[in-house]
């Protein structure tokens, strides 16, 4: 729900590339449209520039690769499969000096060629896709140091402007830049395209978009199988889980969550029918909800930026899980409702959010009781913290989305109503339900009381240092994997006011 986190773009020594690339793109497009196939002048100029830059920016490599692509196009005649495969190998050869996610982001023009190829030569495209999926699985996982990756267009050049060189065969000369980018990324929503074309977009974010497009293209082709529908869906569920596990990246998860949250469909209508797309969307949604756990189990890079990125993913995960539960409730699918509720109850993701809240100096008196909330109730708890002054949501859009979730879930939002429903459905013991209701109500009352005390005292409270140690934390190993928070719950010293003790 929130744009990629990064600092404002600083000036660089590569600013001179912007006018050079602008002029070169105009000349290349003009010559290509006139029927020219020899671009040796461009080749010699940009070969020298690349030779002088041991770690060249992506926009420079992309333009140079476009020159090579169009120069060799005639040699492959109508063999678009070999042309795309050769282009993939060309970009890989340019990426020796790049770190993992930058290698993946570099493949963006290849994904565009694949999106055209799967429409005309689906079977041939499948084998090429399998190789690219394996390549992305190797490099999509971020490693220490990758989090400080470059801004996408370091020379201040526009990604949308650059996309014109790839879609030249599909658009008119006066095509709007935004339309060019839409053609270049046909399976990416408008909101995500705007983020990619912003000056604040990072290389890692484009890598997540590239991985998500390859992921979707590969899954679309799975529907060409001649096996029965039940077998197909079973195989798809296994395949999706395996691929998501291979693309174990914050960037990839962030993009997939936004795709599933911001759009009612996955923009795949050109490749599959609406029924198949609905089936695939449901399978991907459940797999993403299940697989996100692995992000929080991997110690990875413990920087504060990664902590915030994971916090945002955790919140979007809550949104997605709540949406999925609302959908199956409307369909009166009790089995799926129980399964989703079980995913939430057994998930480590809420613990990450609890740890993050406590690391900000908040006191949670009964963390276990928060596990018994519904996803919507947990979101309401986060909103109440935001209203007290804790910055939980990174943008107004995300906070508004959270409030919309609360409004829509209001009839069955409270823990009491949830437990009463469970009592009717599963014949639970009434006394146990009452205990959970009282525990949940005490948490919400405590939250409101702290808010009132803060407003009444307005800075007059004395701050002191204390150690918070929940009795369950030493026994419950589920708290241990979260190494991303600025400070963990277990035995951590945090500053709080007397009124919060």
pLDDT tens, residue by residue, 284-304: 999 999 998 888 766 555 566
Element (H, E) at 434: helix 430-457
Asked whether residue 387 carries a pLDDT value surpassing 90, the answer given is yes
pLDDT tens, residue by residue, 108-124: 999 999 999 988 888 88
pLDDT, position 166 = 93
pLDDT tens, residue by residue, 388-399: 999 999 888 899
Average pLDDT of the residues in 147-153: 72
Q: Which structure tokens are listed for 13?
A: 């020594």
Single out the residue of 178, 222, 214 nearest to residue 196, CA to CA: 178
pLDDT, position 235 = 94
DSSP 459: T
Share of the chain above pLDDT 70, in %: 76
Single out the residue of 202, 288, 302, 213 nearest to residue 248, CA to CA: 288
Element (H, E) at 426: helix 415-426
Task: Report yes or no: 111 and 210 within 8 Å, Cβ to Cβ.
Answer: yes
Asked whether residue 280 carries a pLDDT value surpassing 90, the answer given is yes
CA 299 to chain centre: 19
Cβ partners under 8 Å of residue 151, min gap 6: 6, 9, 199, 200, 201, 202, 203
Single out the residue of 331, 294, 337 nearest to residue 313, CA to CA: 294
Task: Give me the residues paired with residue 202 across strands.
Answer: 151
pLDDT, position 191 = 87
In degrees rounded to 5, what are phi and psi of residue 180?
-60, -45
pLDDT tens, residue by residue, 8-59: 445 566 778 889 999 999 999 999 999 888 888 898 899 999 888 888 899 9
pLDDT, position 465 = 26
Of residues 471 and 355, more confidently modeled: 355
Task: Report yes or no: 465 and 493 within 8 Å, Cβ to Cβ.
Answer: yes
Provide DSSP, 152-171.
S-TTS--HHHHHTTTSTTTS
pLDDT tens, residue by residue, 165-177: 999 989 887 788 7
Query: 454 falls in which pLDDT band (50, 70, 90)?
Result: very low
Asked whether residue 487 carries a pLDDT value surpassing 80, the answer given is no
Average pLDDT of the residues in 424-435: 44
Task: Report yes or no: 251 and 101 within 8 Å, Cβ to Cβ.
Answer: yes
Q: Which residues of 169-202 are buried (b: 16+ CB within 10 A; e: fewer)?
A: eeeeeeeeeebbbbbbbbbbbeebbebbbbeebb
Q: Which of 103-107, 176-180, 328-332 has the lowest mean pLDDT?
A: 176-180
Single out the residue of 310, 315, 266, 317 nearest to residue 290, CA to CA: 317
Query: 495 falls in which pLDDT band (50, 70, 90)?
Result: very low
pLDDT, position 489 = 33
pLDDT, position 419 = 41
Predicted TM-score of the model (pTM): 0.79
Query: 416 falls in which pLDDT band (50, 70, 90)?
Result: very low
Of residues 21 and 369, more confidently modeled: 21
The strand pair at 492-497 and 463-468 is best described as: antiparallel
Asked whether residue 91 carries a pLDDT value surpassing 90, the answer given is yes
pLDDT, position 482 = 33
pLDDT, position 126 = 87
**Torsion (CA) 174, 188, 90, 127 in degrees, nearest 10:** -130
Task: Report yes or no: 375 and 314 within 8 Å, Cβ to Cβ.
Answer: no
Cβ partners under 8 Å of residue 425, min gap 6: 334
pLDDT tens, residue by residue, 190-217: 889 999 998 889 899 999 999 999 999 9
Asked whether residue 415 carries a pLDDT value surpassing 50, the answer given is no
Average pLDDT of the residues in 453-473: 35
Of residues 208 and 269, more confidently modeled: 208
pLDDT, position 87 = 95
Average pLDDT of the residues in 417-422: 45
Average pLDDT of the residues in 448-463: 42
**What is the end-to-end Cα distance of the chain in Å, rounded?**
34
Asked whether residue 414 carries a pLDDT value surpassing 80, the answer given is no
């Amino acid at each position: 729900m929130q744009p990629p986190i990064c600092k404002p773009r600083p000036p660089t020594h590569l600013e001179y590339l912007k006018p050079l690339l602008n002029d070169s793109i105009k000349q290349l497009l003009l010559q290509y449209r006139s029927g020219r196939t020899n671009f040796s002048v461009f080749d010699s100029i940009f070969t020298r520039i690349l030779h002088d830059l041991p770690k060249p920016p992506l926009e420079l490599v992309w333009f140079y690769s476009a020159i090579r692509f169009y120069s060799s196009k005639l040699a492959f005649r109508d063999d678009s499969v070999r042309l795309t495969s050769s282009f993939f190998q060309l970009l890989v050869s340019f990426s020796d000096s790049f770190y993992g996610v930058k290698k993946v982001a570099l493949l963006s023009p290849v994904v565009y060629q694949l999106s055209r190829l799967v429409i005309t030569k689906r079977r041939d495209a499948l084998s090429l896709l399998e190789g690219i999926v394996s390549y992305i699985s190797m490099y999509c996982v971020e490693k220490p140091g990758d989090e400080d990756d470059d801004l996408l267009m370091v020379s201040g050049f526009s990604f949308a402007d650059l996309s014109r060189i790839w879609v030249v065969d599909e658009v008119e000369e006066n095509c709007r830049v935004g339309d060019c980018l839409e053609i270049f990324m046909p399976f990416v929503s408008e909101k995500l395209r705007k983020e990619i074309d912003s000056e604040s977009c990072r290389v890692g974010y484009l890598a997540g978009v590239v991985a998500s497009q390859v992921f979707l293209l590969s899954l679309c082709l799975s529907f060409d199988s001649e096996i029965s529908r039940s077998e197909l869906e079973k195989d798809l569920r296994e395949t999706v889980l395996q691929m998501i596990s291979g693309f174990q990246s914050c960037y990839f998860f962030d993009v997939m969550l936004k795709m599933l949250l911001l759009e009612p469909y996955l923009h795949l209508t050109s490749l599959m029918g609406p029924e198949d797309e609905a089936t695939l969307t449901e399978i991907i949604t459940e797999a993403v909800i299940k697989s996100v756990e692995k992000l929080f189990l991997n110690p990875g890079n413990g920087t504060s930026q990664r902590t915030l990125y994971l916090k945002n993913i955790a919140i979007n995960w809550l949104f997605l899980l709540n949406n999925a539960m609302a959908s199956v409730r409307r369909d009166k699918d009790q089995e799926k409702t129980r399964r989703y509720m079980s995913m939430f109850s057994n998930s480590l993701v809420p613990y990450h959010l609890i740890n993050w809240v406590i690391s900000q100096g908040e006191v949670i008196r009964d963390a276990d009781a928060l596990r018994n909330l519904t996803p919507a109730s947990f979101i309401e708890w986060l909103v109440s913290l935001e209203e007290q002054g804790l910055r939980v949501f990174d943008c107004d859009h995300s906070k508004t989305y959270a409030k919309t979730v609360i409004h829509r879930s209001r009839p069955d939002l409270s823990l009491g109503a949830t437990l009463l429903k469970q009592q009717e459905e599963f014949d639970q013991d009434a006394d146990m339900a009452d205990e959970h209701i009282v525990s949940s109500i005490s948490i919400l009352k405590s939250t409101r009381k702290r808010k009132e005390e803060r407003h009444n005292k307005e800075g007059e409270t004395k701050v002191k240092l204390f150690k918070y140690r929940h009795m369950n934390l030493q026994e419950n190993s589920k708290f241990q994997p979260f190494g991303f928070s600025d400070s963990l719950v277990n035995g951590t010293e945090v500053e709080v006011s007397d009124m919060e003790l």
